[in-house]
Amino acid sequence: MKRFWLIVVTGSLVALAGCHSFKKENIQPPTPLAKDFKPTVQVTRVWKERVGHGAGVSGVRMEPTVVNGVLYAASTDGAIAALDANTGKTLWETKSRTHGWFGWGDKKRKDAFYAGGPAVDGDLLAIGTLDGHVYGLSSKDGSQRWVATLPSEVIDSPTINNGLVLVRTQDGRVYGLDSNTGERRWVNDQGSVPLLSLRGNGSLLVTNGVVFFGSDDGKLMAVREDNGEKLWEQKLATGEGRTDIERMNDADGGVVLDGSTLYASAYHGSLTAVDGPSGRPLWARPFSTYTSMALGGNSLFGVNTDSQVWAFDKSSGADMWKNDDLKYRWLTAPAVQGDYVVVGDIEGYVHWLQTGDGALAGRERLSKKAIRAEPVVANGLVYIEDVEGHIAAYRLGAK
């Protein structure tokens, strides 16, 4: 049975049949940016580089990762690289010799259309592909250590923990692979996956021997890390509505952990706080989103399906503020850099909002291409990547 994916664009929908072709319908125009905007924080671009051609037309979010002062990034056209996170200097880069979408070329990595982004732990780098493979590479030079074959696309970053590479595929399954060999240890199969869902998966959250993730049918799931057995599930959306699109309730964002409390959200669903050990809901409030939330101090920050930026009290879910200035700009998931919330938009702009009241404080333009990947904050810098593989690092200073 053929599955259909949807990408949310500025409050409207783009239908994808398969992976690489789409038709835009009823797209709201992005809210124009204020020409008389006066920044209240100084933003300095530290460096800018490029790794491959990014996500291209794949519709996935290519997100870099920063570990021990090294930024790792990949592209769907087979490039993968390690850069000095402070200077942008390339430490190593490898490219698979693929030609076209069908993988002619390198026999060892003939399908190396990397997706999602890399995960790094020690000397192991793990990354999935659009053709359903997971590669274990050396984080020191990119050389291949092993490859695992899975039955569906891997379009989000794996997670490495306790000798396992944990991977979620687009058909709803979660796998535990041996980090030394890539051998399959276990698989968790949710059973039925909706025919219609958002194209994307939130990152797996692994802590205290438990793997947490949002499901394609709007649930927060908890499974055992050692064998994939389900521990509990909590509904985040009810799937109500007159049409298939209105009833779609994909939990496409990542799960946020604060102490023992989990925060998760869903498209056409709720933002919900859940007790991690028991799965018991603590509070819930309506909030439809297709991205992950971000935590900063006593607040949760999110972007709804109209690209309005919200702040909520993390203890109760009460509204703290809402910013409409970037409505319909198809914003990324938010990240927190110091006292500011950072988001990228469909026209290549990066925006900084004050965490206290949501006021716009800074703006820079990475490129003229869309930014879909969540900003990555590390070592006092924020790293932004656009859909064509341009990556920049920004630092904040006093105005």
Query: Which residue matches tokens 């059973």?
Result: 191
Q: How far is 359 from 266, CA to CA, in rounded Å?
A: 26
Nearest residue to 348 via CA among 385, 296, 300 = 385
Residue 249 contacts residue 267 (beta carbons within 8 Å) = yes
pLDDT at residue 226 is higher than 50? yes
pTM: 0.88
Q: What's the start-to-end Cα distance of the chain, in Å?
A: 56
pLDDT at residue 22 is higher than 50? no
pLDDT at residue 387 is higher than 80? yes
CA distances from 277 to 263, 351, 384 (A): 13, 36, 34
The CA-CA-CA angle for residues 308, 309, 312, to 5°, reads 125
DSSP code per residue over 222-277: EEETTT--EEEEEE-----SSSHHHH-----SPPEEETTEEEE-BTTSEEEEEETT
Tokens describing residue 51: 């790794």
pLDDT at residue 84 is higher than 70? yes
Q: How far is 291 from 287, CA to CA, in rounded Å?
A: 11
Tokens describing residue 337: 């850099």
pLDDT at residue 97 is higher than 70? no
CA distances from 27 to 5, 20, 23, 217, 333 (A): 17, 19, 11, 25, 20
For residue range 261-283, list pLDDT tens digits in order: 999 988 777 899 999 999 999 99
pLDDT at residue 5 is higher than 90? no
- Provide the CB-side half-sphere exposure for 330 (13 A, CA): 20
Q: How far is 341 from 294, CA to CA, in rounded Å?
A: 9
pLDDT of the residue at 191: 58
Task: Report the amino acid identity of residue 179.
Answer: S
pLDDT of the residue at 199: 52
pLDDT at residue 146 is higher than 80? yes
